[in-house]
Structure 1
Amino acid sequence: MIALPALRAVMAGAPLAMPEGWRAATEQGAAVLAARLAEDGPIYGVNTGFGKLASTRIAPEKLAQLQLNLLRSHAAGTGAPLPAPVVRLVLALKALSLSRGASGVRVAVVEALLQLLAADALPVIPAKGSVGASGDLAPLAHLALVLVGEGEVFVNGARRPGAEAGIAPLTLGPKEGLALLNGTQVSTAIALSGLFAAQSLLHTSLVAGALSVDAARGSDTPFDARIHALRGQPGQIRCAAALRGLMAGSAIRDSHREGDTRVQDPYSLRCQPQVAGACLDLLDHAATVLQREANAVTDNPLVMADGDILSGGNFHAEPVAFAADTIALALAELGAISERRIALLVDPVLSGLPAFLVAEGGLHSGFMIAQVTAAALAAENRALATPRSVDSLPTSANQEDHVSMATGAALRLMEMAENLSSILSIELLCAAQGLEFHRPLTTSAPLQAAQALVRGVAAPWDADRFMAPDMEAVRLLVQGGAFARLVELPA
């Protein structure tokens, strides 16, 4: 089973390591299919039509045309092309699935996919057009067209005709078009992209949250291990430990351990382990589901080693849809609590800091509108977090009468991650600014490193200036994982 770190590396451009013995397994599946086809019985999608047309038999001399027609007719996607890292992962997942031998394709089909991946010749796959059942048909058809010298491909970043992909065009054998189109590889790849972004952003949120606690002269008592052991939620325990590590040795915290009249901090500071921990548990579950799906065979029908060819429904992407919906919940909640910490920091009553984190309030507005931006993005993410898996529209003349909407569920994760990156960048700017008012006291070593990252791209806010460039500079650091690397969650 290929692990998620290896898939993440493939997204970044690393080569795909195929499992040992894949050629033999693929050849065996192709041989089984050929033997069954010679018996001249009906085999769905091999010598019959598709979907509602499954009872229509296709003459032997037209089987190759059947597969080519399938690719052309199903390449009906729309919208912007999927990003290059996602397409790399789609190619890898499709190659892995077909190589298990249960799809009945020839080794040449898998090799063609691997050649595209190795050359970074990436099919142009429109993002929209799949309902996540009977496979990601439309987007995978756009991919498959490139294998036969049609469609479009990105070569060195330039959009070119599929014939210029740099591989010898395939003539598809029986079932090969159907095997390429059936499957959950697109929805899974997009969901994995969202998962990887969410995991990094959760780490960043812990850094931003710890920085906000010190900026607001909050307490680290709520992160005491004994509190979280009594509840027993694993994500909560791990996040509390990470927050303790981030704050250990803070001179700001030590300065108000005695004599502080505040009994308890607001929830956005105090309940960080409970909220981030619950999000962590959701992401861990989604990771388990998506790793299984990345290693699965999800086309139809399936070719068994004993000679049986079985028609089932592994192409139904309900597990992926549920995983994407849980990732969306985590992204929305991490943004919601971050926005509340931002609101706390700019409020002098709650934070004890100058209003809007600027010394001469009134003349200068400071972070007033940055908080408004964070609120807008948090509200947008809450709307986007509405579950997609509960929706279903019948397709294919009611043959496909329940669908998962997994691809749409996964697609919105990209936008949500972008929004959360911006929210966290605002919190990091606000918290770093809050620490300026506690000088000469310093925060902990890890949080000093976080503040140094902020200050490397955004100077202290001494007077009003163009705010957006500071936000964008920090957002790029967030997106690149610079802050996430400052914290390590215990296992």
Structure 2
Amino acid sequence: MIIAPGSATLAQLRAIMQGEALELPQGWQAPLEQSVAALAARIASGEALYGVNTGFGKLASQRIGSADLAKLQLNLLRSHAAGIGSFMPEPVVRLILALKAMSLARGASAVRPVVVQTLLGLLNAGVLPAIPAKGSVGASGDLAPLAHLSLVLIGEGQARVEGTTVSGAEALRLAGLPPVALGPKEGLALLNGTQVSTALALVGLFQAQDLLHTGLTAGAMSVDAARGSDTPFDPRIHALRGQPGQIEAAATLRRLLDGSAIRESHRTGDTRVQDPYCLRCQPQVMGACADQLAHAATVLQREANAVTDNPLVTAEGEVLSGGNFHAEPVAFAADNIALAVAEIGALAERRIALLTDPVLSGLPAFLVREGGLNSGFMIAQVTAAALASENKSLAHPRSVDSMPTSANQEDHVSMATGAALRLAEMADNTAGILAIELLAAAQGIGFHRPLTSSPPVEQAVAMVRSQAAPWDEDRHMAPDIAAVKALVEAGDFAALAEGRG
């Protein structure tokens, strides 16, 4: 895939995350060579340039002699590789490499083409730096994790190759790449930037988008399982409010339920006037989540294409010190994704509770015959409640926190990396909740046989049944949940809501 620096789409970024190779268009090297030459001229003039011939952070007033400029960049990588924790997942690292390469390739960072070529070489060879997940506060860039990434470029640190951890030197050998000898500013350009927090947030966004569509599929199933009404999805209701996500969510639910014989069977004579909110207000809640995710997607696409290191070198040769490394936009976007993921799961948990309550659903208690002898979905609903509760705690905004660093030189930070890191755990929780709802809704629809639901809902039921038999009597529940959760994470149920099933 060829992408011009600064023009990546979300679909292209998702493809890179999933293993697509990345190339840059012909002639991409020229802006980099121009910026390197401009920086060299400024260095030769004897001017003090932050991070080029000075120390870093609080040490910016310390001048560095010309003989030590290369060592300055090398020391920077080594000293800043201070992360801890488990290694970041491979899809995240793929995105980090791609985002860093495309940012540097815009030609405002004064790095030589060989640096970008090495980043792309590692990405396309599947040789991925081993990056500890924790240690960044999301301002002055994602310094620690990017330092661990950058060590591999010089033949140090560690990398992961087909699940095995190897040395940085071995990683370069396997990728067929020579180690990079860093030039002035190149270490700083590699470490500065928001690529780690942005990559984490993008993966969280992609997961959240799939969960949203899975939630709509599961919600439609639950409507029919509970013999709910499709009137709340009437387009006239949503047009009067005008919220775009709500309008789209209602349209999706109408399409998913269109042609349901279960719905037709109780269109007249049903004494219930209105369904509980977890059924009736799905467009309003899921639509609001969709709008949050759409805004986050816009922010993250911009950030993925941005130049976020410091200082920057303009086309005219000026060296500008600024703060594009401050990841506040990413922190806000990640917090909004977290809110959406939590609400998708919270609403699904309420639908599970409805389905297992015979007073509300009209179905057998806990969705099983011979209740008492069998407990059915009793504890599966408890598991869903536990996961939803955990997500509520995890959804607390991280962007409102700040802890001064670097002897108060860096006195306000975004916490974007932590904001984005927790999205994976939240997505895992919500995938578990949705798996339980899909099982419960399929069980509920089974009680209405021989009536059938709509073609898309029946397809979803068949997908559930491909992994888990109907619940005729108590058995181990965990394997069924795990099997259906795997389909959720693969996006199979999301495809139905998107019209791709």
**Whole-Å Cα distance in 2 between the matches of residues 244 and 19 of structure 1?**
44
Question: Match for residue 217 of structure 1?
Answer: 227
Question: Match for residue 92 of structure 1?
Answer: 98
**Whole-Å Cα distance in 2 between the matches of residues 25 and 457 of structure 1?**
54
8 Å Cα contact 1:238/1:489 also seen in 2: no
Gaps of 5+ in 1: none
- Cα deviation, residue 34, structure 1: 1.1
- Where 2:227 maps in the other structure, the secondary structure is coil
Q: Which of 481, 486, 489 pairs up with 1:476?
A: 486
**2:127 corresponds to 1:121:** yes
TM normalised by structure 1 equals 0.99
8 Å Cα contact 1:71/1:144 also seen in 2: yes
Query: What are the equivalent positions in structure 2 for 1:28-47 lying under 5 Å apart?
Result: 28-47=34-53
**Cα RMSD over matched residues?**
0.9
Question: Match for residue 7 of structure 1?
Answer: 13
- Cα deviation, residue 20, structure 1: 5.0
**Whole-Å Cα distance in 2 between the matches of residues 237 and 74 of structure 1?**
48
Q: Percent identity?
A: 73
Question: Match for residue 251 of structure 2?
Answer: 241
8 Å Cα contact 2:204/2:424 also seen in 1: yes
8 Å Cα contact 2:157/2:168 also seen in 1: yes
**2:238 corresponds to 1:228:** yes
- Where 1:483 maps in the other structure, the secondary structure is helix
- Where 2:165 maps in the other structure, the secondary structure is strand
**Whole-Å Cα distance in 2 between the matches of residues 208 and 433 of structure 1?**
12
- Cα deviation, residue 40, structure 1: 1.2
- Cα deviation, residue 37, structure 1: 1.0
- Where 2:375 maps in the other structure, the secondary structure is coil
Question: Match for residue 3 of structure 2?
Answer: none
Q: Which of 423, 442, 455 pairs up with 1:413?
A: 423
Residue 64 of structure 1 aligns with an amino acid whose one-letter code is: A
**Whole-Å Cα distance in 1 between the matches of residues 159 and 191 of structure 2?**
17
Gaps of 5+ in 2: 1-6
8 Å Cα contact 2:331/2:399 also seen in 1: yes
Question: Match for residue 373 of structure 2?
Answer: 363
Residue 324 of structure 1 aligns with an amino acid whose one-letter code is: A
C-alpha offsets along residues 264-288 of structure 1, whole Å, 9 cap, x if unaligned?
A: 0000000000000000000000000
Query: What are the equivalent positions in structure 2 for 1:242-261 lying under 5 Å apart?
Result: 242-261=252-271
- Where 2:160 maps in the other structure, the secondary structure is strand
Question: Match for residue 270 of structure 1?
Answer: 280
Residue 31 of structure 1 aligns with an amino acid whose one-letter code is: A
- Cα deviation, residue 18, structure 1: 2.0
Question: Match for residue 304 of structure 1?
Answer: 314
TM normalised by structure 2 equals 0.97
Q: Which of 469, 479, 495 pairs up with 1:485?
A: 495
**Whole-Å Cα distance in 2 between the matches of residues 225 and 418 of structure 1?**
33
C-alpha offsets along residues 173-192 of structure 1, whole Å, 9 cap, x if unaligned?
A: 00000000000000000000
Question: Match for residue 345 of structure 2?
Answer: 335
**Whole-Å Cα distance in 1 between the matches of residues 438 and 110 of structure 2?**
53
8 Å Cα contact 2:23/2:120 also seen in 1: no
Aligned length: 490
**Whole-Å Cα distance in 1 between the matches of residues 389 and 90 of structure 2?**
29
8 Å Cα contact 1:239/1:489 also seen in 2: no
Farther off after superposition, 400-409 or 160-169: 160-169
- Where 1:453 maps in the other structure, the secondary structure is helix
- Where 2:144 maps in the other structure, the secondary structure is helix
- Cα deviation, residue 489, structure 1: 7.2
Question: Match for residue 428 of structure 1?
Answer: 438
- Cα deviation, residue 157, structure 1: 1.9
**2:75 corresponds to 1:65:** no
**2:327 corresponds to 1:317:** yes
Question: Match for residue 458 of structure 2?
Answer: 448
**Whole-Å Cα distance in 2 between the matches of residues 154 and 102 of structure 1?**
30
**Whole-Å Cα distance in 2 between the matches of residues 10 and 420 of structure 1?**
24
Q: Which of 304, 307, 311 pairs up with 1:294?
A: 304
Q: Which of 156, 169, 172 pairs up with 2:182?
A: 172
